[in-house]
Homo-oligomer: A and B are copies of this chain.
Amino acid sequence: MRFAAFLLAVLLTPAPQTLRASVTTWVDAHQKPIVQELVQLLSIPNVAADAANIRRNADRLQQMLAARGFAAELLETTGNPLVYGELRVPGATRTLLFYCHYDGQPVDAAAWKQPSPFTPVLRRGRLEEQPETLDPASVDRFQPDWRIYARSASDDKSPIVAILAALDALKGSRTPATSNVRIVLDGEEEASSPSLVPAIARYRDRFQADLMVIFDGPIHSSGRPTVAFGARGIVTADLTVFGPTSGVHSGNYGNWIPNPAQRLASLLASMKDDDGRVTVEGFYDGIAPLTAEEQAAMNAVPDDGDRMLRAFGVAAPERAFPRLQQALQYPTLNVRGLVSSHVGAGARTIIPDRATAALDLRLVKETAPHDMLRKLRAHIEKQGFHLVDDAPDAATRAQYSRIASLTVSGPSMRAFRTASTDPQVRALVNAIEGVYGATPVQLRTLGGTVPISPFIEALGFPAVIVPLVNFDNNQHEENENLRLGAFFDGIVTVAAILTM
């Protein structure tokens, strides 16, 4: 019986190029209900702290899953509920765990060029080009360049609708999925997903799969389908160098009382060479040179580095990392802020009492947060500083001529990176390549950090990120938007994965 179903599935699975055509045809014919379902979902406010509306989103999503035959439920957690669904496919030999999130970034409604971030607006192009604005409900046919403006239009509600549309399209074109599908929709991603890892203890069985597919983030700026095999981790810390108990007159004591801002500058300078390479001992330990294959894969990423530099107003990148994709393979030491006394109108002629640098370290799989902090501390001590946890007391001040503190300033997050050679990963990449007739952009790692990293690590099976939305979507900012062409293509991409 199971073999018969499998045979049927194999026979019914169309050639990849045919799949693209059939899904596209189906989507063309069903644009209106697809967009309508998205617009309705976007109309429910979804800031993680807004528990009542979050619950409305969760209920709606559960219904949407159930309507596609998922065994759907809400998994209660210590925070917002996870929306969960399972769809068993006869004869499937693999289970995929899809991850999206249904919460969105907090909104500053006044900054939006529309009455509300939760009343979606359709525009015939990018806001910046001042296109005509349309009521999405009044439209039957949508052009690829048109955009939906609303909070979570791209981050991350449209991928959920794309998954369901892909299932509908496969059903409509009588193309069965080839994998069991489990889906988990996070209601706290923009609040760092605090309840996700704790939920494993309670719901471990439901999360088991052969491959996790994270539908989040933007596709590559080239507009091509994109797969990312990892994301960097992060640790943030404030580095403070202490000077006199309070600021002292720079005339009366200049040259005599040491200046903490000058010493902070020297300390930061000691951490990096002129080419942008970190000189903290052991900073790059354990990171193997890239293999020829990895190097080739990175070279294949169609970054337009010159265009990006021009856009940022920067003449040249760090000499140690001339190519962006290469730069992302290594941990960073980044000064994200500096403060000592005042600059500008409030500046006073003093030797300041302290100077602080806010640092963030982006991490790769080989560099764990606590280990990197340990190395940074060792470096600071090697420069002659006595490290304290709090502001030094009089006895400490009398004993040590150089005093600093390094204080972790936010949640740390490990990196994740799945081997691109993993068979499930290869199957997914090949499926997308087959559908489009061209290999997707393959990123060994994203430069940024995703809060799902600890969840991936705790579950222990491979994970990839498959973004589905345009790169210029104004994610996290006002006027977040979704280019409908990217959205409709995304349905094709999901269909490819469902039939991989």
Contact = CB atoms under 8 A, between A and B. Distances in A.
A407 to B, nearest CB: 11
Among A255, A317, A349, max chain B CB count under 10 A is at: A255
Interface in A308-361: 310, 312-318, 320-321, 323-324, 327-328, 330, 332, 334-344, 347-352, 355-358, 360
Contacts of A158: none
A167 interface: no
Nearest to A391: B313
B265 A335 contact: yes
A448 B318 CA distance: 41
A123 interface: no
A362 interface: yes
Given A256-B317, A350-B336, A272 B266 contact: yes
Interface stretch (A69-77, A241-249, A423-431): A241-249
Nearest to A316: B401
Given A313-B244, A358-B347, A398-B315, A338 B336 contact: no
B337 A343 contact: yes
Interface in A97-121: none
A274 interface: yes
A253 B447 CA distance: 7
A336 B349 contact: yes
Interface residues of A, number: 81
A261 B357 contact: yes
A112 to B, nearest CB: 20
A257 interface: yes
A312 B250 contact: no
Contacts of A254: 327-328, 332, 334, 360, 362, 447
Contact of A256 (B258, B261, B315, B324): B324
A446 interface: yes
A262 B268 contact: yes
B337 A352 contact: yes
A409 interface: yes
B251 A449 contact: yes
Q: How many copies does the complex hold?
A: 2
A276 B341 CA distance: 20
A399 interface: yes
Contacts of A352: 335-337
A397 B314 contact: yes
A72 B226 CA distance: 88
Interface stretch (A19-27, A58-66, A232-240, A488-496): A232-240
B255 A315 contact: no
Among A272, A328, A335, A398, max chain B CB count under 10 A is at: A335
Contacts of A321: 255-256
Contacts of A340: 335, 337-339
A287 interface: no
Given A250-B360, A358-B342, A259 B347 contact: no
Given A272-B266, A324-B256, A334 B351 contact: yes
B344 A358 contact: yes
A327 B256 contact: yes
A16 to B, nearest CB: 31
Nearest to A339: B343
B261 A264 contact: no
A291 interface: no
Contact of A330 (B253, B255, B315, B317): B255
A318 B255 contact: yes
Interface of A: 232, 234, 236, 238, 243-245, 248-259, 261-262, 264-266, 268-270, 272, 274, 276, 310, 312-318, 320-321, 323-324, 327-328, 330, 332, 334-344, 347-352, 355-358, 360, 362, 392, 394, 397-401, 409, 446-449
7 contacts: A238-B343, A250-B362, A255-B318, A258-B318, A337-B352, A338-B341, A339-B339
